[in-house]
Structure 1
Amino acid sequence: MIRWMMARGFSRCTLAAAWIALVAVPLAPVVAEDATAVEGRLSATAKYLSSDELEGRGVGTKGLDLAADYIAEQFRTLGLKTELVDGGPFQTFEMTTGSELGSPNTLTFVGPGGEDGEPRKIELALDEQFTPLAIGGSGTFDLPLVFVGYGITGKDENYDDYEGIDVKDKAVVILRHEPQQANPHSVFNGTDHSEHAPFRRKVSNAFEHGAAAVIFCNDQFEVDKQLASLRKRWQVAVDEIAEASERFKKIEKPSADEWRAYENKIAHLCEDVGKYAEQLDEARDPLLPFRGAGPSASEGRSFPVLSCQRGVLDQIVKQAMGMSLAELEVEMDKGPTPRSAPLEGWRAVGETHVERHEVGVKNVVGVWEGEGPLADETIVIGAHYDHLGYGGSGSAAPGVHEIHNGADDNGSGTTVLIEVARDIVARGKLPRRIVFIAFTGEERGLVGSARYVREPLFPIDKTVAMLNLDMVGRLTDEKLIVHGTGTATEFDALVDRFGKDYGFDITKKPGGFGPSDHSSFYSAKVPVLFFFTGSHKDYHRPSDDFDKLNIPGMRRIAEMVAEIGVTLAKADTRPAYKEVQDMGEIARSGGDRPYFGSIPDFAGDEPGYALSGVAKGGPAARGGLQGGDTIVKFGDSKIGNLEDFDSALRKYKAGDKVPVTVKRDGDEVTLEVTLDPPR
């Protein structure tokens, strides 16, 4: 019948309406449950998931495991099949949560021989003259040294510390920050730091140029700035001693209490003077601490990254280049003009040991099997259950070490997921299988959903739709946002129908990509719907608490999503997948970067930038890239991970034709991509 209607010239909208009509038969009767009972159950679950006991459900916390166990028990109690992976409901894998400095760690600079012909050796003391950094990796090295100034390649600034310099398989010495820091008219964002200043950007740039190790050194401007600040505090403390002494001298006959107060005051101020004196001594040639450039390395590269005292490197630079570091910095400020050069005859010899902390994490899966000829087709309904733990990376309250309970993000979605499962199970068997998944690692980059798509328990090509619940706990004025309405021919009318039935003011977003787990499925060409009640001032803050949830709103969303799930499960045909031009938030270039049109695969664990998909009609797609590719070279830049790709992309402009080398099915393939203007 559908083929006949299409032959007669029916529009897509008419066809979609017919599809809805075909499945809009009365659903299996379900005894209506009192709303108060449902809301009581939702409230209890959401309250537990967002309690302090669960420690913000951060990766690596006991609370995340408690949440997983709770969800698994709920799935079992509902009657879902949970004997799925090694006899249980958990799809487990490892994630890196941090780094520790291992042992041994050594660094020796070996230079040209003296009059006796013996090579000069400068052996450095760990934590006194050098420190391995957590953003680097472990390795044994014996590498030629090259000074590359600030380690910047800035196309817009017409400045490149690597121009004409071969650093392949060498250790590069890099100054912190950038030239002209005191110049308000500097091309490097005036007196504010530019995008080229961060450590990770410099490390990525070095890696792209083929360097085998990075040695950071403080720049003179930063040293002078810190010294000036500390000297000011030291002088204030000294002046306070003098003032306290003068005030006390004016007391003709001090009492015992006045003497005691004066002695305590002077002792306290002397402690301050001593403390600032120690800090001044350290600030004259400081070392970065182990985590001073970041808590851990990015995936995809593991070469050593170290911090070294300026005084040590200054000796080497003077001997090899005939100028001190301070003199070179003055010269670089002119223009600015790079002054990079090999440090002839000098090598860095040593080893670093950085131990990565890995923890086991798990997706929680429960299955409601289908019956009949369509039982091998799957609908996934999911929500991520992890959050930010005690804050840190990703928190909108930087520097605050407090439990981020994540009641809305995403205690609400997880709670609604369990209720949707309860509702669907109560209806009895359906023609298609429904898989309920509580994803882990979403806050770390959609890691859990990406892992499932790469290692599905049921074939992705037989997965006909994915419904995602993320932040559905703050319904206000009946406004519900639904993403993905353009990812299947039938979805627009489907959402219109149920939105009206349940009294929601629906805002429809056609795109299938965005910052949540549905993106992983859409990149695998699965139609998706993502339900979301909107952001708010408590997003990613400790204040995202249970008492701000709209429990009745969550109940109604659960009822509607269950109805949509059942409708999809009972449809005669699977939803017709559509590619949508709109890439959503996750794949936009942003800023002034040219547009490439790729979707990251955050579960990729091989060196390079792994793609889960490409934007329809975008530069990557036009150039022949596809989901499953891993970019290992972009232009002349070596690519180890997403950060390296981002750094390399910034070196080009719209209209540039860039050779891109990818790994595809074990082979390397080079394609040409013409970049689009920023979006």
Structure 2
Amino acid sequence: MGNPPMKDVKTLRRLLALLILSAIFVFPSVATRADDEKALRITPKAFLDHIKILSSDKYEGRDTGSKGQKLAAKYIAGKLKDWGVPPAGDNGSYFQKFPYSGNRDIVGKPVLKARNGRSTFRMKYARNFTPMTCSADADIKKVPVVFAGYGVDAPDKNYNDYTGIDVKDKFVIIMRKTPWPRDRRSRHAYFRTKLEVAKKHGVGGVIFVSNPKSGAAELNTLRKNADRKRMPFPVFYITGKAANRLLSRDKQTLEKLESKIIDSGKPASFPLKRTTIDAKVKLKEKGVGTENVVAIIKGSDKSSGNEHIIMGAHYDHIGVGSSKGKAKIVYHGADDNASGSSGLLVIARAISDMNKKPKRTIVFVWFTGEEKGFLGSIHYTENPALPLKDAVLMINMDMLGRSKDGYLWIGGADTGKDLRPVLEELADASGLDVRLTGSAGGSSDQVPFNRKNVPNLFFNSGMHKDLHRTTDTVDKINAEDGARIVNLALDVAIAVADGGKKHEFNKTESGRGSRVFMGLAGMEQVEKGLQITGVVPHSPAEKAGLEKDDIIISINDKEIKTNRDLYGCLRGKKPGDVLKMVVIRDGKEEKISLKLDKR
């Protein structure tokens, strides 16, 4: 008879997985679910259609509180109404509204000018600097300047960038991140923490700077961060090149100062000689408010009470910016996160179309304000449609559209007791290259639910160079794999909704579970291997000589094509072990030895 066609094999694998799970979780019969097979299978076209719309120019990048965000909310609510999915927002509507006044417009032309003796450096708005929307209004001149390292005051780590310097009523230049490259999730890295510390020390203004190579492209994104609370002093963000020009009179560079701090573990703060700053900025409050979109499909088993699954995705992005010769450029956010929003829409429709609904209730939430610090998900966890104590699982979908070779990361597999077996069976049947990690890692809307002790999963198809850039467009969406990822999320939701047991919350450590540290800030799958999109300063990767845009093709004589290949090479490794790597750099192969460090 020969080998069966691949399609039939996948079908058999899926049916086998469902049979196994039904024995464990008391599913309805496979025959019953087979009646809904047409409704349950989401097509690439259905997945792509909503992404095209939500990422189009009409929605202007869907910045929180903007006209585009509100249009997107209406679009989502309109589709739910057309499909007969009941609302679960305020007063019988789909919208869960809450105050938001963080959006502020710049009035007039801001000024940031440095003076040093007879020399003047007039920075250009949107090219060298931008005010941040947490800034106070100001019109000040000849303010002294102090370089204050990372702006960290951390008694718990015996580190203080403000020790030995006078910053009273002066501008401080502060680098992003922390002096501890491996501690990227530290609260000391947050804008808000740095600003509150600066306020405590009585500064007259803050000038943030990223890495030495940072340019104008990131100014629009960063302008809108840390913007929920206005500070009592002006706050600006400048490029790395602009910062180096300010430091040049003191014969310093960001690179030198960063290396000195990290290598020594000690601050390197100092006052800039004879340099003063003139600054002018005025911001206008919008006070527009914002809204989550919430819908609900009641469970078919009344005995389950309020037990429910929450499925979520943020639909906001970062809006619009400006560029040379253009009045406005749109940050489309096709993958981040029109893809997750679309996935949630088609899942809601699929479940609504089912002849027999899942046993437990399913709540759908499209979150606003994720890019501003999980505003929508925080608001929902404080004002849930159903009590969170009855939430069996939260599934968050963020960036599902750029999978390479079927890659999918699902974080949080161990946040619910006995949840991992469900995921393993369904992941195997999906045909996707799924990597499960136990922790509730990832920086997205599952985080507030994890804090509330709700078991949670984070579906993500991987990072890429277009994140928060105008190049995150619909033409780059992998709709085939995206639809398979959405179908898997749907299968998981139904499996848990129909399961006989409730998965009790397990607290897990943050991170992705690896005991060793390489120092790769990002990777992207390309034809020849894994391309490095960033290297953590002073990490094992940097010390080994790895560079941005290097393509890893083998490790310890094992071919590297996918993220899973890389993680497989790290499995069982200990700090101090050496990886023998081959990379392609400028078209030529190079051999690299990397000594792993402790995470």
Alignment match of 2:317 (pick from 387, 393, 410): 387
User: 1:97 — aligned with what?
Assistant: 103
* SS across alignment from 1:23: coil
1:442 aligns with 2:370: yes
Kept in 1: contact 2:146–2:269 (CA 8 A) = no
* Cα distance per residue 1:220-250 (max 9 Å; x no partner): xxxxxxxxxxxxxxxxxxxxxxxxxxxxxxx
Alignment match of 1:513 (pick from 441, 444, 448): 441
Alignment match of 2:204 (pick from 208, 211, 214): 214
Q: 1:505 to 1:381 in 2, by over 3 A?
A: same
Kept in 1: contact 2:134–2:228 (CA 8 A) = no
The residue type paired with residue 387 of structure 1 is H
Kept in 1: contact 2:42–2:487 (CA 8 A) = no
Alignment match of 1:372 (pick from 302, 310, 317): 302
Separation of aligned partners in 2, 1:458 and 1:443: 25
1:59 aligns with 2:64: yes
Q: 1:208 to 1:69 in 2, by over 3 A?
A: same
Kept in 1: contact 2:102–2:227 (CA 8 A) = no
The answer for unaligned runs of 5 or more in structure 2 is 1-19, 109-130, 180-187, 208-219, 237-249, 252-266, 273-280, 520-596
1:411 aligns with 2:410: no
Separation of aligned partners in 1, 2:417 and 2:461: 24
Separation of aligned partners in 2, 1:159 and 1:430: 54
Q: 1:390 to 1:678 in 2, by over 3 A?
A: farther
* Cα distance per residue 1:310-348 (max 9 Å; x no partner): xxxxxxxxxxxxxxxxxxx99xxxx999799xxxxxxxx
Kept in 2: contact 1:148–1:161 (CA 8 A) = no
The alpha carbon displacement at 1:368 in A equals: 0.5
Q: 1:92 to 1:199 in 2, by over 3 A?
A: closer
The alpha carbon displacement at 1:402 in A equals: 2.2
The alpha carbon displacement at 1:96 in A equals: 0.6
Kept in 1: contact 2:152–2:197 (CA 8 A) = no
Q: CA RMSD in A?
A: 4.9
* Cα distance per residue 1:397-441 (max 9 Å; x no partner): 9x9962122222211111111111122222333332110111111
The residue type paired with residue 303 of structure 2 is P
* SS across alignment from 1:402: strand
User: 1:559 — aligned with what?
Assistant: 487
Alignment match of 1:49 (pick from 49, 54, 59): 54
Q: 1:30 to 1:416 in 2, by over 3 A?
A: farther
User: 1:357 — aligned with what?
Assistant: 286
Alignment match of 1:479 (pick from 400, 403, 407): 407
Separation of aligned partners in 2, 1:552 and 1:520: 31
* SS across alignment from 2:330: coil
The alpha carbon displacement at 1:200 in A equals: 8.9
The alpha carbon displacement at 1:444 in A equals: 1.9
The alpha carbon displacement at 1:523 in A equals: 1.6
1:548 aligns with 2:547: no
1:577 aligns with 2:497: no
Kept in 2: contact 1:137–1:297 (CA 8 A) = no
* SS across alignment from 2:170: strand
The structure whose Rg is larger is 1
User: 2:455 — aligned with what?
Assistant: 527
The alpha carbon displacement at 1:579 in A equals: 1.2
1:173 aligns with 2:165: no
* Structure-1-length-normalised TM-score: 0.51
Q: 1:471 to 1:35 in 2, by over 3 A?
A: same
Kept in 2: contact 1:151–1:174 (CA 8 A) = no
User: 1:302 — aligned with what?
Assistant: 231
User: 1:496 — aligned with what?
Assistant: 424
Separation of aligned partners in 2, 1:177 and 1:584: 29
The alpha carbon displacement at 1:54 in A equals: 1.5
Q: What is the percent sequence identity of the aligned residues?
A: 29
Separation of aligned partners in 1, 2:191 and 2:361: 48
Q: 1:531 to 1:138 in 2, by over 3 A?
A: same
Separation of aligned partners in 1, 2:361 and 2:430: 25
Q: 1:208 to 1:423 in 2, by over 3 A?
A: same
The residue type paired with residue 92 of structure 1 is K
Separation of aligned partners in 2, 1:488 and 1:473: 26
The residue type paired with residue 378 of structure 1 is H
Separation of aligned partners in 2, 1:376 and 1:33: 28
Q: 1:381 to 1:161 in 2, by over 3 A?
A: closer
Q: How many residues align?
A: 413
Kept in 2: contact 1:20–1:493 (CA 8 A) = no
The residue type paired with residue 56 of structure 1 is G
Q: 1:506 to 1:449 in 2, by over 3 A?
A: same
Separation of aligned partners in 2, 1:80 and 1:450: 24
Q: 1:61 to 1:549 in 2, by over 3 A?
A: same
Separation of aligned partners in 2, 1:555 and 1:17: 22
The alpha carbon displacement at 1:59 in A equals: 2.4
Kept in 2: contact 1:149–1:161 (CA 8 A) = no
* Structure-2-length-normalised TM-score: 0.58
* Cα distance per residue 1:56-92 (max 9 Å; x no partner): 2222432222211111111122222115302311111
Alignment match of 1:22 (pick from 11, 26, 49): 26
* SS across alignment from 1:515: coil
The alpha carbon displacement at 1:367 in A equals: 0.5
The alpha carbon displacement at 1:516 in A equals: 1.5
